[in-house]
């Protein structure tokens, strides 16, 4: 008789490890390009200074930007982690947007490694793992350690003793954005440390289907798909290539999406970022209060995207491929 096993429909579909896990590893650049950092004391006429209004639209089923606190629902005493609020409004902190954009910029340019895949940060510039275990002492890819010679990402986003050239305002809801309490499998910190960068993919959220409290699960207050937020990115003294790198790192006018916020291993936080308004500083009228800024149309974005000198073409190609939406389930629990 044949050794026949009855299929069990309740069983999680058998897949190879690689298709079940919700993340991918992106190779590091072979080398880091460092240049003299610009000083901040003046606005330079041959660089770009201005601001871009951005719409952040949630493309995954949920986005969770945690407040670090929890609350409980009165009727059923359900304890859940709350969404961050500022002046009672749901808010995605600007620092969170900046952090997400930075990690992409680091990956797709010849930049230093400020975080290694799986390495746990335990304090300012302190890691649980000794990075020297993974890099030789003179490996150029170690984090920039002086503020005179900086890699593209540190020169744009800043590093210790260098404040950087861009900032994001807190993103506030465009309309009346509503939240939902979602049950998710507990998130475990990664165990494998690799000499690569780790990115969570854009897969489908796999709902648990009940709100019953159980071990190794948590409840989070998340905003739903299609929720829209608005923020401003302000920048000063950027070259066209630097602004271009930032736009690519936000996935602007691209066929891939980046992620913002928490619960990324549960495939939360996929967003589409779109420019709404662009204003550049008018260097000819710096001292008059009228016409300080010149409005640019959205063609300006296309022009800037042509400047690709800071992109590592090979890595960008693999990043782009890996961050497209995949019609595949995200794991509910451990993977
Ligand atoms: Zn750096």
Q: What are the residues facing 71 on neighbouring strands?
A: 80
Of 117, 120, 92, 115, the closest CA to residue 260 belongs to: 92
Q: How far is CA 322 from the centre of its chain?
A: 14
Q: How far is the CA of 273 from the centre of ligand 1 (A)?
A: 25
**Under 8 Å between Cβ of 56 and 177:** no
- Distance CA(61)–CA(227), nearest Å, equals 10
Using the mean position of ligand 1's atoms as its centre, give its distance from the Cα of residue 144 in Å. 4
Give bridge partners of residue 136 from the DSSP assignment.
none
Apex 110 CA angle, 109 and 113, nearest 5:
100
- Residue recorded with tokens 């409290």: 213
For ligand 1, the distance from its centroid to the CA atom of residue 37, given in whole angstroms, is 11
Cα–Cα distance for residue pair 180/127, rounded to 1 Å? 35
Q: Which residue has the tokens 């954005």?
A: 177
Query: Cβ distance 257 to 57 under 8 Å?
Result: no
Rounded to the nearest whole angstrom, what is the distance from the C-alpha of residue 81 to the centroid of ligand 1? Answer: 34
**CA gap 255, 55 in Å, rounded:** 17
- The per-residue pLDDT for 193 is 67
The DSSP annotation for 147-213 comes to SSEE-HHHHHH-BTTB--SEEEPPBEESS---EEEEEEEPPPPP----SEEEEE-EEE---------
Q: What is the pLDDT of residue 124?
A: 60
Closest CA to 32 of 111, 137, 108: 111
Supply the pLDDT for residue 10: 43
Q: Provide the residue-wise pLDDT of the chain in tens; the chain has 335 residues.
A: 444 444 443 444 444 343 478 888 888 888 899 988 877 778 888 899 999 999 999 999 999 999 999 999 888 889 999 999 999 999 999 999 999 999 999 999 999 987 655 555 666 656 555 555 667 777 788 888 877 899 999 999 998 888 899 999 999 999 889 999 999 998 775 566 677 888 888 988 888 888 889 888 999 999 999 999 999 999 999 999 999 999 999 999 999 999 999 988 888 999 999 999 999 998 877 666 677 889 999 999 999 999 999 999 999 999 999 888 888 888 887 76
Q: Measure 152 CA to ligand 1 centroid, in angstroms.
A: 7
* CA–centroid distance, residue 113 to ligand 1 (Å): 7
pLDDT at 39: 75
Position 330 scores a pLDDT of: 87
CA–CA distance, 195 with 116 (Å, rounded to integer): 7
**Spacing, Cα 116 to ligand 1 middle (Å):** 13
As a whole number of angstroms, the distance between CA 283 and CA 303 comes to: 20
Instruction: Return the closest-CA partner of residue 331 out of 252, 267, 238.
Output: 267
CA of 119 to the centre of ligand 1 (A): 17
| pLDDT value at residue 168 | 97
Q: Could you give the CA distance from residue 330 to residue 22 in angstroms, rounded to a whole number?
A: 6
């Amino acid at each position: 008789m044949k050794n026949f096993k009855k299929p069990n429909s309740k069983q999680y579909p058998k897949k190879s490890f690689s298709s079940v896990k919700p993340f991918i590893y992106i190779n590091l650049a072979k080398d880091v390009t460092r240049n003299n950092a610009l000083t901040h004391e003046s606005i330079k006429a041959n660089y770009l200074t201005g601001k871009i209004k951005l719409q952040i639209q949630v493309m995954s089923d949920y986005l969770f930007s945690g407040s670090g606190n929890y609350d409980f629902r009165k009727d059923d005493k359900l304890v859940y982690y709350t969404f961050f609020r500022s002046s009672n409004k749901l808010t995605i902190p600007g620092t969170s947007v900046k952090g997400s954009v930075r990690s992409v910029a680091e990956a797709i340019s010849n930049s230093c490694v400020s975080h290694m895949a799986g390495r746990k940060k335990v304090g300012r510039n302190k890691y649980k793992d000794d990075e020297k275990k993974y890099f030789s002492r003179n490996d150029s890819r170690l984090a920039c350690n002086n503020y005179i010679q900086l890699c593209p990402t540190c020169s744009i986003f800043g590093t210790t003793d260098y404040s950087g050239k861009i900032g994001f305002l807190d993103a506030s809801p465009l309309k009346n954005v509503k939240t939902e309490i979602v049950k998710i499998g507990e998130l475990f910190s990664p165990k494998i440390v690799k000499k690569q960068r780790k990115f969570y993919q854009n897969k489908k959220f796999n709902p648990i289907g009940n709100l019953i409290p159980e071990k190794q699960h948590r409840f989070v207050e998340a905003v739903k798909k299609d929720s829209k937020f608005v923020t401003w990115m302000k920048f000063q003294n950027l070259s066209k290539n630097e602004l271009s790198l930032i736009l690519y790192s936000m996935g602007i006018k691209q066929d891939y999406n980046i992620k913002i916020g928490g619960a990324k291993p549960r495939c939360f936080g996929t967003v589409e970022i779109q420019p709404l308004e662009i204003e550049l500083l008018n260097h000819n009228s710096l001292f008059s209060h009228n016409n300080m800024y010149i409005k640019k149309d959205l063609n300006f974005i296309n022009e800037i995207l042509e400047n690709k000198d800071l992109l590592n073409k090979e890595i960008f190609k693999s990043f782009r491929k890996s961050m497209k939406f995949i019609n595949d389930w995200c794991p509910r629990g451990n993977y």
